[in-house]
């Protein structure tokens, strides 16, 4: 009997799983892959970004609300989910930046902070891991730390000499970084204008054009446009974090699906042969696992 393929996505906060790679996860779930989201923190220091919910009682119960939102999003995506138990660092603002709060995720020792992820990898036995690049996707301290512990755990989980108290070794075969190419925003902007519509990205075009382009790092484009509606439903489940009438949802679905029908990744580590360009995170693994 063929072994079930398994995917683990490591994210910093509840809601990150729905804004980064959610359609990819929903696609693989529909194909029978076991998908688990590992959430590093509870999002305790997150802001209330939906103006309709910007009320004192929401701020007072943000931790409980974000856990409930995560459960709703998990159900929509069809994934499993585990909390790693770290405390949100918050996004420092100001010049100079203030110090991070004592005990937060961003201040943890990397090797020590990787331990719960090593234990989870050895328990779940994923073939593929998704995480952020060295910049965290954006420079939030929790995103950068998520990158660091993901790399450390990828190596440590398969090493019998590391953390022998955390279960039998398991070596994942591939590790990917989420990529957010500026070309995607430019393509959506152009597609909106071509359709005679006002682009929600118009005010940001100059900023986008000045951003460095990471398109050259993309190795893997996963076709998952059919699951963009599921992605958006999961994102809306994080009601404190996303305005349902806001920026994220102003580009019509059919334009998104036509202009940029993939979610994009960089293959950062691989223990199997993989071509320079892929359309499947499990390329090179299916043959060995599902034979």
Q: Which residue has the tokens 């580009």?
A: 251
Distance between CA 78 and CA 35 in Å, rounded?
A: 8
Domain 6-180+216-289 grouped into CATH 3.40.50.10320: yes
Tens digit of each residue's pLDDT (9 = 90 or more) over 109-149: 999 999 999 999 999 999 999 999 999 888 899 999 999 99
**pLDDT for res 1:** 62
pTM for the complete prediction?
A: 0.95
Is residue 28 predicted with pLDDT exceeding 90? yes
Tens digit of each residue's pLDDT (9 = 90 or more) over 280-291: 999 999 887 776
Neighbours of 253 (CB within 10 A): 12
Contact 164, 158 (CB under 8 A): no
Domain range list for the chain:
6-180+216-289
Tens digit of each residue's pLDDT (9 = 90 or more) over 190-214: 999 999 998 888 877 777 777 778 8
Tens digit of each residue's pLDDT (9 = 90 or more) over 207-247: 777 777 888 899 999 999 999 999 999 999 999 999 988 87
């Amino acid at each position: 009997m063929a072994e079930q393929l398994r995917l683990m996505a490591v994210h910093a906060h509840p809601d990150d799983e729905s804004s980064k790679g959610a359609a990819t996860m929903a696609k693989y779930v529909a194909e029978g892959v076991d998908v688990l989201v590992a959430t590093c923190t509870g999002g305790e220091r997150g802001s209330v970004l939906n103006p309709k919910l910007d009320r004192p009682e929401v701020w007072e119960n943000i931790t409980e609300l974000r856990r409930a939102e995560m459960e709703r999003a998990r159900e929509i995506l069809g994934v499993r989910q585990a909390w790693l138990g770290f405390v949100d660092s918050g996004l420092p603002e100001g010049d100079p930046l203030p110090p991070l709060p004592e005990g937060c995720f961003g201040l943890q020792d990397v090797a020590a902070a990787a331990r719960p992820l090593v234990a989870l990898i050895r328990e779940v036995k994923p073939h593929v891991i998704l995480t952020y690049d060295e910049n965290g996707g954006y420079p939030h301290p929790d995103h950068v730390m998520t990158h660091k512990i993901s790399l450390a755990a990828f190596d440590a989980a398969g090493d019998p000499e590391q953390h022998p108290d955390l279960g039998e070794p398991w070596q994942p075969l591939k590790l990917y970084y989420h990529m957010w190419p500026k070309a995607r925003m430019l393509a959506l902007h152009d597609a909106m204008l071509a359709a005679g519509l006002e682009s929600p990205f118009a005010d940001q075009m100059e900023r986008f054009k000045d951003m460095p382009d990471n398109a050259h790092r993309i190795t893997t484009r996963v076709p998952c446009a059919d699951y963009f509606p599921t992605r958006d439903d999961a994102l809306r489940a994080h009601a404190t974090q996303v305005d349902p009438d806001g920026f994220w949802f102003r580009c019509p679905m059919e334009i998104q699906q036509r202009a940029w029908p993939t979610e994009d990744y960089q293959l950062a580590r691989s223990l199997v042969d993989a071509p320079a360009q892929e359309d499947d995170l499990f390329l090179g693994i299916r043959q060995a696992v599902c034979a």
